[in-house]
């Protein structure tokens, strides 16, 4: 019987093409606007590493002294940690994996690698200084080679891992393991090439742009004091200190590094927290961690994103407004549906006289609105894609957020069908309650 | 068998209360051809709508084929109407977007017949009214008389026990009217009970019984001599 209802709906659409087009446009506009905003909002807050987000922890330490507190975060903890703390906590062997992390940058001299072929001049490249565990912790796949060995994290070596894109640029995509690149006039040996990796949001470093592109070049963190790698990210301080040399900065209370650990069980987490408490207690004796709020905090990936307001309040308000716009579109659609259905009332009278029950008439009209909703949903998806392209053009930092995944496409169709059914309930109910004899009487 | 006892039907607005049927009582036997006449506004169409269960009533008792209609819900009334009653209207009431085949198909769809059964019934019904060659035509491509014959085919396709006709020849010229009337008589002779509302005294005389309604009540039962041919009248 549903096939019959669909046939009747299609005939109905052909009978009232303008009314149908207006309804499809109304629903399409509502869905298009809602899906544009919802997509950006959804991808902002989406778990970027669902398989491991609950076991990757970001460390925050409040090493401040007595006096003014850190007022930039809700709990009074700086976002990043000092170099000396990163070095100290890195000694703990409790975590399954661990990595120090710093946003830095180098100059790459390509003619050292493929002379006269790339023809490119030296260029600056954002670089991430990390430990070898970084790749395994964040599930980054290697195309060629692997991460450097563990000893490199202690005894620094000039080795590097590059991503596929940079490998294309420097080595035309060939296996570049063992080849050398010149970074800041120093030769580094390539030990690994990874797939292009772009978590959205860029959860591993929310201090330097939630949706920025990831680095294409990775070098050992242990090289920091040797090559005096600069910070290309945020540096925050609370203490008046004289920092004239790189060594001064390494010894300072400036927070400019990040630290991540992978912990796979509750016991391990408790044990690590206990270890951190011990570390803080020891540091207190050395005159650090004197603040009332002194301590350590571990947040998993989702907690860390929430803490950093990756999904801003403005974005949530926009979602609300877009759904209000959808509601206005639905209300308009109700009016148009009423006009369409009442135009068809005489036919309904005939169908009732020929044996159609109210239920049958009601279902037939809901099938009508389902078909309209489906068309509106498809138009909405197309408009939503256009909207996302507009967002991409307006805000380059959102370039990673301008795609709809399968779940969003399904959501768009579901919202469209739900909206149109909601819009159609009253008109369908009204038409099925109409007294058929009114339209059959001819005398 | 159709039995109505003291049926009341009142139409109410904020200002006016109109008694369309007052203590209306009637019995129609299996196979009868009953003509219902009366002046405009006397309640003929209301009677037909109540008979066809398109209108509810406010009092009295109505039994159709042994079933107390007042006890049925909308689904049951729709099912009973679909199975037992066929309608013919003055303005044909064909669905303009559907071709003849699909128009005749409408009641059969609600009956739940298989596609094969429906096809066979539709072809037979259109054959019976002489329009089997025009199944794919739209109603707008037919004359008034042909449209009414399609409406009769639609009413007959489900093989109903009762045929309710509201001024079936009202929109037709005399020649077409005669053809339609002959068709109805043939249908009646094959056992279908027909109740026909008409203004036309000549047509009414061709029925076996004439019921005259005035002010919502049966004013007179007339047992008329059947007329074999309208031309002879």
- Domain with residue B215: its CATH number is 3.40.50.300
Does some domain include residue B46? yes
Choose from B110, B122, B148 for mutation: most chain A CBs within 10 A.
Answer: B110
- A148 and A8 within one domain: no
User: What is this model's ipTM?
Assistant: 0.88
Q: Rounded distance, CA A131 to CA A241, Å? A: 28
Does some domain include residue B72? no
- A225 and A128 within one domain: yes
B187-211 residue pLDDT tens: 999 999 999 999 888 889 889 999 9
- A269 and A145 within one domain: yes
- Quote the domain boundaries for residue A432: 2-48+312-440
A→B interface, C-beta within 8 Å = 1, 4, 11-12, 14-15, 346-347, 349-360, 435-437, 440-443
- A127 and A30 within one domain: no
- A200 and A242 within one domain: yes
A52-62 residue pLDDT tens: 999 999 999 99
3 state DSSP class of B129? coil
Does some domain include residue A213? yes
Does some domain include residue B6? no
Interface of B with A in 164-183 (CB under 8 A): 166-167, 170
> What sign does the dihedral A29-A32-A36-A37 (CA atoms) show?
positive
- B89, B154, B170: residue with CB nearest A440: B89
Could you say which of A259, A293, A327 is where a domain stops? A293
Query: Residue A13's closest chain B neighbor by CA?
Result: B97
Does some domain include residue B155? yes
Q: Rounded distance, CA A305 to CA B136, Å? A: 65
pLDDT classification of A95: cutoffs 50, 70, 90: very high
What's chain A's average pLDDT?
Answer: 90
- A18 and A144 within one domain: no
Does some domain include residue B190? yes
- A103 DSSP β-pair partners: A128
Q: Considering its fold, how many domains does chain A have in total? A: 2
- A212 and A105 within one domain: yes
- A319 and A184 within one domain: no
How does A402-416 read in b/e, with b if 16+ C-beta sit within 10 Å?
A: bebeeebbebbbebb
3 state DSSP class of A292? coil
Q: Rounded distance, CA B145 to CA B175, Å? A: 9
Cβ separation of A355 and B98 shorter than 8 Å?
Answer: no
Does some domain include residue A264? yes
Q: Considering its fold, how many domains does chain B have in total? A: 1
Cβ separation of B89 and A4 shorter than 8 Å?
Answer: no
Cβ separation of A443 and B45 shorter than 8 Å?
Answer: yes
Could you say which of A250, A265, A293 is where a domain stops? A293
Q: Rounded distance, CA A305 to CA B90, Å? A: 72
- A320 and A255 within one domain: no
- Quote the domain boundaries for residue B116: 33-56+79-228
Question: What is residue B50's predicted lDDT score, i.e. its pLDDT?
Answer: 94
- A200 and A132 within one domain: yes
Q: How many beta carbons lie within 10 A of that of residue A398, not counting itself?
A: 18
Does some domain include residue B183? yes
Q: Rounded distance, CA B114 to CA A129, Å? A: 73
- A69 and A210 within one domain: yes
B14-72 residue pLDDT tens: 888 899 999 999 999 999 999 999 998 899 989 999 999 998 999 999 999 889 998 99
Question: What is residue A20's predicted lDDT score, i.e. its pLDDT?
Answer: 92
- A151 and A96 within one domain: yes
């Amino acid at each position: 019987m549903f096939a019959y209802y669909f046939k009747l709906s299609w005939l109905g659409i052909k009978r009232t093409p303008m009314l149908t087009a207006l309804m499809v446009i109304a629903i399409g506009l509502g869905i298009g606007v809602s899906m544009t905003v919802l997509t950006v909002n959804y991808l902002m807050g989406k778990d970027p590493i669902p398989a491991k987000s609950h076991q990757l922890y970001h460390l925050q330490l409040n090493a401040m002294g007595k006096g003014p507190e850190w007022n930039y975060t809700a709990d009074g903890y700086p976002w990043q940690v000092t170099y000396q703390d990163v070095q100290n906590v890195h000694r703990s062997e409790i975590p399954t994996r661990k990595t120090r992390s710093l946003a830095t940058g180098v100059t790459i001299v390509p003619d050292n690698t493929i002379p006269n072929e790339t023809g490119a001049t030296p260029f600056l490249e954002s670089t991430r200084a990390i430990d070898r565990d970084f790749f395994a912790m964040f599930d980054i796949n290697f195309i060629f080679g692997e991460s450097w060995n563990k000893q490199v994290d202690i005894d620094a070596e000039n080795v590097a891992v590059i991503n596929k894109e940079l490998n294309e640029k420097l080595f035309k995509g060939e296996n570049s393991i063992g080849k050398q690149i010149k970074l800041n006039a120093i030769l580094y040996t390539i030990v690994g090439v990874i797939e292009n990796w772009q978590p959205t949001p860029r959860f591993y470093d929310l201090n330097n742009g939630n949706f920025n592109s990831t680095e294409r070049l990775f070098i050992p963190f242990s090289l920091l004091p040797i090559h005096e790698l600069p910070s290309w990210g945020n540096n925050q301080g609370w203490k008046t200190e004289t920092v004239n040399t790189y060594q001064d900065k390494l010894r300072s209370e400036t927070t400019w590094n990040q630290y991540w650990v992978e912990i796979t069980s509750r016991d391990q987490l408790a044990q690590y927290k206990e270890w951190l408490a011990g570390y803080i207690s020891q540091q207190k004796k050395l005159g650090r961690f004197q603040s009332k709020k002194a301590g350590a905090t571990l947040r998993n990936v989702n907690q860390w994103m929430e803490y950093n307001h990756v999904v801003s309040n403005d974005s949530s308000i926009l979602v609300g407004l877009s759904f209000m716009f959808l509601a206005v579109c639905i209300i308009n659609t109700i009016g148009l549906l009423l006009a369409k259905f009442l135009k068809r009332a005489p036919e309904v009278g005939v169908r009732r006289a020929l044996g159609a029950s109210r239920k049958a008439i009601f279902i037939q009209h809901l099938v009508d609105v389902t078909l309209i909703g489906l068309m509106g949903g498809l138009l909405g998806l197309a408009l939503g894609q256009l909207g996302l392209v507009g967002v991409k053009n307006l805000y380059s930092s959102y370039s990673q957020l301008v795609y709809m995944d399968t779940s969003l496409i399904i959501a768009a169709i579901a919202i469209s069908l739900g909206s149109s059914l909601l819009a159609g309930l009253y008109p369908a109910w009204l038409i099925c309650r109409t007294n058929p004899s009114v339209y059959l009487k001819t005398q | 068998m159709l039995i109505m006892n003291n049926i009341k039907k009142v139409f109410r607005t904020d200002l006016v209360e109109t008694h369309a049927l007052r203590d209306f009582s009637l019995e129609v036997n299996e196979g009868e051809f009953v003509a219902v006449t009366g002046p405009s506004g006397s309640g003929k169409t209301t009677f037909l709508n109540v008979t066809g269960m398109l209108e509810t009533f406010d009092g009295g008792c109505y039994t159709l084929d042994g079933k107390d209609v007042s006890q049925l819900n909308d689904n049951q009334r729709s099912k009973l109407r679909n199975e037992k009653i066929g309608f013919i209207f003055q303005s044909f009431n064909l669905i303009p977007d559907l071709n003849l085949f699909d128009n005749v198909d409408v009641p059969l769809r609600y009956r739940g017949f298989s596609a094969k059964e429906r096809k066979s019934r539709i072809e037979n019904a259109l054959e019976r009214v002489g329009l089997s060659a025009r199944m794919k035509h739209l109603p707008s491509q037919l004359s008034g008389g042909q449209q009414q014959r399609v409406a009769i085919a639609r009413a007959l396709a489900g093989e109903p026990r009762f045929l309710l006709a509201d001024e079936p020849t009202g929109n037709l010229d005399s020649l077409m009217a005669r053809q339609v009337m002959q068709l109805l008589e043939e249908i009646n002779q094959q056992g279908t009970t027909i109740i026909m509302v008409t203004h036309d005294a000549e047509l009414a005389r061709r029925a076996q019984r004439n019921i005259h309604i005035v002010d919502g009540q049966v004013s007179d039962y007339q047992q008329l001599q059947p007329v074999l041919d309208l031309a002879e009248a």
